[in-house]
Structure 1
Amino acid sequence: MPLKSKKFSGVSLLTSAIAIVTTARTQLNRRTRQIKRLVSDEGPGGLTDKIRTKLSDAIRPKTFMWHVFPSDVLQADLSKPQHQTIPVINDGQPIELNWIVGPAGPGSGGHTTIFRTLKYLQAAGYRNRVYFYDPYGGDGKYYQDLARSHYGLTCEIQDIRHGMKDAHGVIATCWPTAYAAFNASCSGKRFYFIQDYEPYFYPVGTNSALAETTYRMGFHGITAGRWLSEKLTREFGMDADWFPFGCDTARYRFDANSQRSGIAFYARAGTPRRAVEIGLLALELFSKRQPEIELHLFGQPMGSLPFKFTNHGLVSPDKLNQIYNRSFAGLSLSLTNVSLVPHEMLACGCIPVVNEADHNRIVLDNAYVRYAALLPHALAETLEAIVTMPNFGHAAQRAADSVKSTSWDIAGAAVDTAIRNAIAADAARSRSRRTFPISISL
């Protein structure tokens, strides 16, 4: 190689090495400044959270997470719906229902409502069967045992992959199970037990689209509260009945002797529709205005926050009853269908502060709920107005009295009526199709 070429090659290598070192030094300085800023602004916990987030992003699978078996989506051709026969209900014969349910861990609010309703209908003479639908590859035996030990089910429980028996009604309980109900070959009128508008659970994309499609499958909806029923009928032409929210007033009850000194907040950041981050900002403002008021957070373990609080994490209903009875008010936010929390707070004389929205007002329909714009300052001001309220004890007692007549038996009776009426209406339509008027020409 000529001497000039060798010299040029050496210069290029040196230049590349200098560029690499310069880039590395720049990135090192950048990360050092970032770490110092994080520790200064958020403390060591903020740095730890950032590192854990980056690591979880790195190891998270890059493939799509299916919440439904893709084969069920492929099979569900809505242009060619199956004609489902509905067995005749003979006198003295129990109505048979197949419930298609996703896997449930202990403490699931949605599953608690499903199984509470199922047990009410069973006590009313229905014959229920539960079929677990699990696209995640879980242990079916574990979920079956949990359904019996934790939720108290005594009915038949099977894996839907083995097929379903004929029934008078087949009930989907969440959007993935609706595909299974649509595709199933067993007899039975198709119902859809809907507790929330599930397309809102996801960013706009495949999951939200698949969830929305289930409202076009021709099922008879039975919704938690009137807002969902009206929305699904208006936007999808869905036949729907609704049941009122119940409240376990034997477990959540007003304690006149309790000393109230705090605010309760359902802070479950893993559920985006509960707007936890906005609630935390509101509590940060509130804590500066009313530093003597205790702040009780429950729902999941929380890290460090810029205000003093008691971190209860995931609690039992009995513990929750105690927290509510120690609180003047409770913050319960929802961007979709309202949760069960406001009614439970009311039963304990804890005044709920809820974000202003039709879906909250329509379902709660209670004069003692306080509404505020979904803004930190508006929520903090509403909480402050409650803790400084004169004669709070009288207001707390009236709030508790307002839900005394609320029970899950009323909700169960509404579901019972909806199922019986829908099956009877289909039977009447079937009889009318089989009856043809005779025309005689003279």
Structure 2
Amino acid sequence: MARAQLNRCRRQIKRLVLDEGPRALTDKIRTKLSDAIRPKTFLWHVFPSDVLQADLSKPSNPTIPVLSDGEPIELNWIVGPAGPGSGGHTTIFRTLKYLQAAGYRNRVYFYDPYGGDEKYYQHVARSHYGLTCDIEDISLGMRDAHGVIATGWPTAYAAFNAPCAGKRFYFIQDYEPYFYPVGTNSALAETTYRMGFHGITAGRWLSDKLAREFAMETDWFPFGCDTARYRFDANSQRSGIAFYARAGTPRRAVEIGLLALELFAKRQPDIELHLFGQPMGSLPFKFTNHGLVSPDKLNQIYNKCFAGLSLSLTNVSLVPHEMLACGCLPIVNDADHNRIVLENANVRYAPLLPHALADALEAVVTMPDFDLASLRAAESVKSTSWATAGAAVDRALRQAIRASHKPFKCDNPIHPATKASCGLVLTRSP
């Protein structure tokens, strides 16, 4: 038996090297080694004690301070720690700073079940994200506020359990149960949508989904775009295709995108391929490997490209808007969660299939009126700003806090405590 196993391994190694090269063998060995040394215990993204404390059969009923005219709104933001460059944190802190400029008083509380260094994350928040508000230690408890805002599913448990005053809000940028295989993490994430918080979502798709499936009361804000940073360069010579290739984020379907580029490269070998998002290894086609790049560098890449491939299996990313601003036509997988949020006639949609995506890319690089289409795409997002998004969040917070002090009346004899049964619309536009 031992000899048979040894011979089997030799044949596998030989076939792997002949078919895919020495690099494939190295990758296989590294994968096996990482599997062997990976801890076999479950990695908690939330403190188990917070899960135990969160008894949804006994929902919390926090006091909500009355908001007087002219009084600044106080908010406690519960945020997971992150290093520089986090897109989710960029949106959270951009919104926080908009509200601060509008007169809000903000406090940030980092929620970190991984045991990180809080002083480091405070430094990152101030030096990289430009926060000037108070940053306090959540382990010492949170101060009373008009609103307490969870910003990711683990932080929702902390918001649910906290004894401080404040209406509970949930700043939701994606449907986080989809981030995991069906299991403990996906179930814990889904549970947070049943905690009775008021959702404020990135785009209408999430708002509609959460209202429909969990009866959440929700508002939504439109995606913004930093058009001062991402802008159309009329003098740029376009010669390529851009692809947001971040393999460490499964919901971006990078592997399918790479197959599409492999097909496209065979059809259009003279078109340059620009990959960004993370360093990439060897691929069966020629490409420029940009890795993780700054926004200014990304603006240059977009302006060199006819089109960009941006795939998402959950809520759409910010990339398509950035591409549009630079006159780079986005190719996006055809799905409701993308169409509903983008709502832009200059986005090209294709089924999430390698051949269909390659066809869409080829159609752009061969179109006779590309210059006009490129300019039209850039013009379509000129008025898209994060100030509009911030104003929508501001309006939603003020309305929800004020409404919490109005008595609720429902005449439905079957479901007297359910707003949906009274015919109220749970989802509002900004």
> TM-score normalised to the size of structure 1?
0.92
Q: Name the SS for the 1:330 alignment partner.
A: strand
2:286 aligned partner: 308
| Residue 107 of structure 2 is aligned to residue 126 of structure 1 | no
The CA deviation at 1:35 is 1.5
* Equivalent residue runs for 1:147-186 within 5 Å: 147-186=125-164
The CA deviation at 1:431 is 12
Match of residue 260, structure 2, among 282, 286, 289: 282
The CA deviation at 1:429 is 2.5
Q: Tell me which amino acid in the other structure corresponds to 1:383.
A: L
Identity %: 85
The CA deviation at 1:210 is 0.3
| Residue 355 of structure 2 is aligned to residue 367 of structure 1 | no
CA distance in 2, matches of 1:430, 1:358: 34
Q: Tell me which amino acid in the other structure corresponds to 1:246.
A: G
Contact 2:226 2:385 in 1 (8 A): yes
The CA deviation at 1:159 is 2.3
Match of residue 181, structure 2, among 193, 200, 203: 203
Q: Tell me which amino acid in the other structure corresponds to 2:121.
A: Y
CA distance in 1, matches of 2:222, 2:118: 32
Post-superposition CA distance 1:249-303 (Å, at most 9, x none): 0000000000000000000000000000000000000000000000000000101
CA distance in 1, matches of 2:171, 2:8: 53
Match of residue 300, structure 2, among 309, 318, 322: 322
Match of residue 70, structure 1, among 48, 52, 61: 48
Say which is worse superposed, 34-43 or 239-248, in terms of deviation: 34-43
The CA deviation at 1:92 is 2.6
CA distance in 2, matches of 1:159, 1:32: 56
Match of residue 387, structure 1, among 360, 365, 387: 365
2:219 aligned partner: 241
* Equivalent residue runs for 1:45-124 within 5 Å: 45-124=23-102
Say which is worse superposed, 24-33 or 125-134, in terms of deviation: 24-33
1:222 aligned partner: 200
Distance change (3 Å), C-alpha of 1:373 and 1:431 = closer
Match of residue 332, structure 2, among 328, 343, 354: 354
Post-superposition CA distance 1:162-220 (Å, at most 9, x none): 11000000000000000000000000000000000000000000000000000000000
The CA deviation at 1:25 is 2.7
Q: Tell me which amino acid in the other structure corresponds to 1:242.
A: W
Say which is worse superposed, 84-93 or 336-345, in terms of deviation: 84-93
2:397 aligned partner: 419
Q: Tell me which amino acid in the other structure corresponds to 1:70.
A: P
2:123 aligned partner: 145
CA distance in 2, matches of 1:155, 1:135: 23
Contact 2:241 2:309 in 1 (8 A): yes
The CA deviation at 1:430 is 8.0
The CA deviation at 1:27 is 2.3
Post-superposition CA distance 1:395-421 (Å, at most 9, x none): 100000000000000000000000000
CA distance in 2, matches of 1:306, 1:37: 18
Say which is worse superposed, 91-100 or 371-380, in terms of deviation: 91-100
Unaligned runs of 5+ in 1: 1-22, 433-442
CA distance in 1, matches of 2:61, 2:198: 14
CA distance in 2, matches of 1:91, 1:385: 56
Q: Name the SS for the 1:342 alignment partner.
A: helix
CA distance in 2, matches of 1:117, 1:429: 30
CA distance in 2, matches of 1:190, 1:79: 17
User: Over aligned residue pairs, what C-alpha RMSD do you find?
Assistant: 1.2
Q: Tell me which amino acid in the other structure corresponds to 1:215.
A: Y
CA distance in 2, matches of 1:73, 1:149: 33
Q: Tell me which amino acid in the other structure corresponds to 1:231.
A: K
The CA deviation at 1:24 is 3.1
CA distance in 1, matches of 2:382, 2:329: 15
CA distance in 1, matches of 2:63, 2:408: 10
Q: Name the SS for the 2:116 alignment partner.
A: coil
The CA deviation at 1:378 is 0.2
CA distance in 2, matches of 1:40, 1:404: 52
1:136 aligned partner: 114
Contact 2:67 2:401 in 1 (8 A): no
Q: Greater share of helix residues, 1 or 2?
A: 1
Q: Tell me which amino acid in the other structure corresponds to 2:377.
A: A
Q: Name the SS for the 2:142 alignment partner.
A: coil
Q: Name the SS for the 1:79 alignment partner.
A: coil
Post-superposition CA distance 1:345-392 (Å, at most 9, x none): 000000000000000000000000000000000000000000001121
Q: Name the SS for the 1:374 alignment partner.
A: coil
CA distance in 2, matches of 1:383, 1:431: 55
Match of residue 17, structure 2, among 39, 44, 51: 39
The CA deviation at 1:29 is 2.0
2:319 aligned partner: 341
Q: Tell me which amino acid in the other structure corresponds to 2:204.
A: R
Q: Name the SS for the 1:429 alignment partner.
A: coil
Count of residues paired in the alignment? 410
Q: Tell me which amino acid in the other structure corresponds to 1:397.
A: L
CA distance in 2, matches of 1:182, 1:215: 11
